[in-house]
A and B are shown apart, each in its own frame.
Chain A
Amino acid sequence: MSPWKRGIVYALLALMAGFAVFFSLTVFSQTSLRLDEAQSLFQTNRDLGGMVHLIAQDVHVPFYHTLLHFWQLIFGADIFTARMLSLVFFAGTILLTYYLATYAFGRRSIGLFAALLVTISPFMNWYGSEARMYTMLSFMAVLHAIFYIKILRASSTSSWILWTVTAILGLYTHYFFVFVLLAELVAMVLLKRHFADRKPIRNIIIAGAIAGLSLVPWLLYVYSLGFASNTQPALSEPSAGDLFDTYAQFIFGFQTSSINTVIISMWPVAVLLAFFTLQKSNKKIPPETTVFVLLATLPVLCAFLISVTIRPFYLSRYLIVALPALFIFIAWLASRYRKRVALLVRIGLVAMVGVLFVIQVTSPNTPVKEDYRETVEYLTENADSSDVIVLAAPFTIYPVEYYYKGTAKLTTQPIWDRFSAGSVPAFDEATVKQQTEANVSSYQKAWLVLSYDQGYNDKLKKYYDDHYQKLGERKFSPGLVVYEYQIRYDPKVTIE
């Protein structure tokens, strides 16, 4: 490649990374703290031992939190700074995706288009500015896949070592990284004869076992704490719609249900696109394609099947491990069409994603938006020391507490002492009366803040509606509503 062409490629990559940084700094990082982020800060704003103890009681592994802990020590403990760590991994994912796709298919155009898809993905942009481990997870998935493709091409000890190291780091970033290893194992079985390594399956089992064993100390520690899940939200069993919704979210972001319906109901068109991709072409299908197909589908399918058959833990953000592979696969698919068609497909897809990106940013109904900041501003302005703020679900106390500097008392329902060991208490209809009275009876007004419905918000609201006078309500973002109730009618006592 000539120097000026290389320069153009680098400039384009810099532009992409710049796009991500620009939108993060100007749009996404300016949004309200979200529940999960508040939890991250709650966990990392303490000493290392305490942090690890808390994470072990949560549903995650400690690598990201440890990094964030030191990141905050160096750069500052506020949410904006915490989000910048995710942005670093987002930008890194863009660059590594380019490298991986180009390396795998030998064509820079595929690499650039895959990187562009990652850049403009509303899903990636969202998590690129969230103080959670998701962009780090996608980064690890791409980094790890690079060494896998290296092993496919030429067997070398260094590649195996790096594969194992990145596998360990991946497993310590998120439990779902195990699905990446599974997809790679399946790809290896299917592509055995394509591997330069003579005994790839034996080696991957050994290297995978080493990576798996490295997680054992952590699992034993978690086990010693009784697998207590301190803040685990109740997840419902996923439906087939959720499965397709995951891919729709990867590509088109978080959209309102009406837009989502349009997107995922058009699935039959995928049959036509698949046929176009597979029809007469001089370009052979390289074995790497199988790797990306499996990396893009198997983690999602495994999570779905386990969630349906054993225990629900299906969340699209956990499956971000599949996203870079999906985009690389799409970029390769587009390269299979005839030049003019390929250009049209690329432009069409980018335009569509672009429009939906804007909708995700601007629409107040974007489902993942959590405006706790504005909620708290409203409460600070309207609630005073004679009032109580009741939060359900209980773990939503984290983001509210982060912002709230007012004088009203903060409590949760079900009542939860989060500083004592054990998980969030379950909702018990028989104790609603007793707990509500304990929470509100000595206050003038109760501000019931309902979000993250764990299946009982309606019941709780009904109890309040039936027993107290509702003075007003206000919705701040999808699923986040504040209800104002008059509890007592005795005149306020002012102490001068």
Chain B
Amino acid sequence: MEFLKSVQVSRLLLLLNVTLSIAYFVCVVWLFPIGNPILFAFLVASEIFHVWQVIGYIHTIWPRKRKRSFDARFQPHVAVFITVCGEPADIIEATVIAAKAMRYPHFSVYLLNDGKVANRKNWQEAEIIAQRQGIRCITRTEPGGAKAGNINHTLRLTVEPYIVVFDADHIPKPEFLIETMGYFVDEKMGFVQSPQYYKNYELNQVAGGSWEQQALFFGPLLKGKDTVNATFMCGTNMVIRRSALDEVGGMSEQSIAEDFLTSLLIHNKKWKSTYVDKVLAEGLAPEDFLSYYKQQFRWARGSLEILFAYNPLFQRGLTWAQRLQYIASASFYLSGLVVLLNALLPLVYFFGAVKPLTINTMTLALIFLPYIFVVLYTLQHTSNFTYTFRALSFSLGSFTIYLKALWFTIIRHKSGFAVTSKKRVSGNHGRLVTPHLVYIGLVVAGIAWGVMREGWSASMLSNIAWAFIYIAAFSPFIAAAFERERKPVEVLA
């Protein structure tokens, strides 16, 4: 797997990243003449965010080694939880069969059926599958706590000291337990996470974009977090020590990103975690734009909630490196605001002829280009050149989702846990990209307005170029929203 390949990173290059980003920041904030003070304030805020992102990324991927104990002979009893909430029977059964086929001496497979409490019509199918496969199905009858509630409910009914969690669509490989359980020989090991790999990523734009975004996370990011004991759980393909979970009161039901928050709480109790950089299970990416939208919203909302309600900075049990890593991950979703502010700057210039800095555009380029080139190169180099333009597009295009999540977090709007659909939700999802389309319309109108005012000046041209970049970046995202249903392709398991 390309995204998991080790990449040798020069510390000099990483330091150059930090130096150039700070130099750029210093120039913008202190050396360049200020234009409109409000726009300048917005620009400074977004640049603080960018510098923070660069520092966070560099800290994550900084080359360091961590000693981890592993003993393949360590083979305690394991409970394998497959969480189900109305997914198609064929998908669930394939996962059950693969789970049963894992090479490991002591484990039991459980189907954690939430279909009934979620009022899914097919909720009984899970019980039929369990019966057919000779495993236990635990169907909840009392709702509450969403996926975390489902896991906690089964935790109370089982006794195995280690818990494996698979989403219904994540088919484990036979070696999953052999590759992960040995790490628990370390008595302080709280949980082990393995990558989420989307085998259907070639199906369509949405699946492709989702996977390419994930590749960066499960590649350099989690590998880097692992080196500072800051790997966090990702909801599936993970093994948890029951005693660690018990110490934090089970999976957290306070957040819709239960895995993220539970990881933080477990780390706060001084438990360790590790990331196994091998694909040990294969799952399904969201296949339609609505499902992608909901998935991203859930992750953004959960992460931002943690930033506001459980700020890692004030968790005393965490090391500083862990705090930095948690804040870096959670704060990524603030990028929605930053993308909005940056994308609006050309529009403000077109219509109002105001800009945050009155510096000559070429002087800005002199400082900005080396910084951005080095950052882009480092990002690509460390991700083994797997980060695509589509992934960038999905990250930038999702700014509306992140903004909605931020707004809901601020006003404390209650959001329910939405299971990512494992089948394509048909329909036109174009409405979800209305803001992007409005932006394009405003850019066209703005250019006409601006050119009538001042002609093709250097500032106009630079702002047109910036607006063009945003439009280009939004384009694959917009196209994915309007993508027609394709004939399903056979996906090899």
Spell out A's residues near B (CB within 8 Å).
190, 239-241, 243-244, 261-262, 264-272, 274-276, 278-281
Known: A239-B360, A243-B362, A244-B365. A269 touches B469 (CB 8 A): yes
- How many whole Å from B330's CB to the nearest CB in chain A? 26
Among B362, B377, B380, contact of A244 (Cβ-Cβ < 8 Å): B362
Which B residues touch A265, using CB under 8 A? 361, 458-462, 465
- How many whole Å from A246's CB to the nearest CB in chain B? 11
Q: Which of B452-483 contact A (CB under 8 A)?
A: 456-462, 465-466, 468-469, 472-473
Known: A243-B362, A267-B369. A280 touches B385 (CB 8 A): yes
Cα–Cα distance between A268 and B336 once the two chains are bound (Å):
21
> By the criterion CB–CB under 8 Å, are A280 and B366 in contact?
no
Known: A261-B458, A265-B458, A265-B461. A279 touches B469 (CB 8 A): no
Excluding A265-B461, A270-B369, 12 further A-B contacts by CB distance (< 8 Å) are: A240-B362, A240-B365, A244-B365, A261-B458, A261-B461, A264-B458, A265-B459, A266-B465, A267-B361, A267-B462, A272-B472, A278-B385
> By the criterion CB–CB under 8 Å, are B387 and A239 in contact?
no
- B437 interface hit (Cβ, 8 Å): no
Cα–Cα distance between A275 and B377 once the two chains are bound (Å):
8
> By the criterion CB–CB under 8 Å, are A262 and B369 in contact?
no
Known: A240-B362, A243-B362, A266-B461. A274 touches B386 (CB 8 A): no
> By the criterion CB–CB under 8 Å, are B385 and A281 in contact?
yes
Cα–Cα distance between A276 and B392 once the two chains are bound (Å):
11
Known: A265-B361, A267-B462. A276 touches B468 (CB 8 A): no
- B372 interface hit (Cβ, 8 Å): yes
Cα–Cα distance between A209 and B18 once the two chains are bound (Å):
34
> By the criterion CB–CB under 8 Å, are A268 and B362 in contact?
no
Known: A267-B365, A270-B369. A276 touches B389 (CB 8 A): yes
Cα–Cα distance between A271 and B370 once the two chains are bound (Å):
10
> By the criterion CB–CB under 8 Å, are B360 and A279 in contact?
no
Q: List 26 A-B contacts (CB under 8 A).
A: A240-B360, A240-B363, A240-B365, A243-B362, A244-B366, A262-B461, A265-B361, A265-B461, A265-B465, A266-B461, A266-B465, A267-B365, A267-B462, A267-B465, A268-B465, A268-B468, A269-B465, A270-B369, A271-B373, A272-B472, A274-B372, A274-B373, A278-B380, A279-B380, A280-B212, A280-B385
Cα–Cα distance between A265 and B456 once the two chains are bound (Å):
10
> By the criterion CB–CB under 8 Å, are B469 and A272 in contact?
yes
- B388 interface hit (Cβ, 8 Å): yes
Cα–Cα distance between A201 and B66 once the two chains are bound (Å):
33
Interface of B is mostly: helix
- How many whole Å from B323's CB to the nearest CB in chain A? 31
Give the top 8 A-B pairs by smallest Cβ distance, nearest first: A265-B461, A268-B465, A240-B366, A241-B362, A240-B363, A278-B380, A240-B362, A265-B458
- B101 interface hit (Cβ, 8 Å): no
Known: A270-B369, A280-B385. A241 touches B377 (CB 8 A): no
> By the criterion CB–CB under 8 Å, are A271 and B366 in contact?
no
Which A residues touch B360, using CB under 8 A? 239-241
- How many whole Å from B94's CB to the nearest CB in chain A? 29
Chain B contact patch, size range: 20 to 34
- How many whole Å from A274's CB to the nearest CB in chain B? 6
Which A residues touch B457, using CB under 8 A? 261
- B451 interface hit (Cβ, 8 Å): no
Which A residues touch B386, using CB under 8 A? 280
Which A residues touch B472, using CB under 8 A? 272
Cα–Cα distance between A320 and B140 once the two chains are bound (Å):
75
Q: Which of B371-419 contact A (CB under 8 A)?
A: 372-373, 376-377, 380, 385-389, 392
Cα–Cα distance between A240 and B459 once the two chains are bound (Å):
15
Cα–Cα distance between A244 and B461 once the two chains are bound (Å):
15
- How many whole Å from A238's CB to the nearest CB in chain B? 11
Which A residues touch B469, using CB under 8 A? 268-269, 271-272
Cα–Cα distance between A279 and B393 once the two chains are bound (Å):
12
Cα–Cα distance between A190 and B16 once the two chains are bound (Å):
13
Which B residues touch A271, using CB under 8 A? 369, 372-373, 376, 469
- How many whole Å from B392's CB to the nearest CB in chain A? 7
> By the criterion CB–CB under 8 Å, are A264 and B362 in contact?
yes
- How many whole Å from B116's CB to the nearest CB in chain A? 43
Closest to A244 in B: B362
Closest to A261 in B: B458
> By the criterion CB–CB under 8 Å, are B466 and A268 in contact?
yes
Cα–Cα distance between A244 and B370 once the two chains are bound (Å):
13
> By the criterion CB–CB under 8 Å, are A268 and B387 in contact?
no
Which A residues touch B387, using CB under 8 A? 279-280
Which B residues touch A268, using CB under 8 A? 365, 462, 465-466, 468-469
Q: Which of B118-139 contact A (CB under 8 A)?
A: none
> By the criterion CB–CB under 8 Å, are B456 and A275 in contact?
no
Cα–Cα distance between A239 and B387 once the two chains are bound (Å):
35
Which A residues touch B389, using CB under 8 A? 275-276, 279
> By the criterion CB–CB under 8 Å, are A274 and B362 in contact?
no
Cα–Cα distance between A262 and B363 once the two chains are bound (Å):
16
Among A190, A264, A278, contact of B377 (Cβ-Cβ < 8 Å): A278
- How many whole Å from A275's CB to the nearest CB in chain B? 6
Among A243, A268, A272, the most chain B Cβ lie within 10 Å of the Cβ of A268
Cα–Cα distance between A261 and B457 once the two chains are bound (Å):
8
Which A residues touch B466, using CB under 8 A? 268
- How many whole Å from B183's CB to the nearest CB in chain A? 31
Which A residues touch B212, using CB under 8 A? 280
Cα–Cα distance between A281 and B460 once the two chains are bound (Å):
34
Among A244, A266, A275, A281, contact of B376 (Cβ-Cβ < 8 Å): A275
Cα–Cα distance between A265 and B365 once the two chains are bound (Å):
9
Closest to B379 in A: A278
Closest to B13 in A: A190
> By the criterion CB–CB under 8 Å, are B363 and A239 in contact?
yes
Among A244, A279, A281, the most chain B Cβ lie within 10 Å of the Cβ of A279
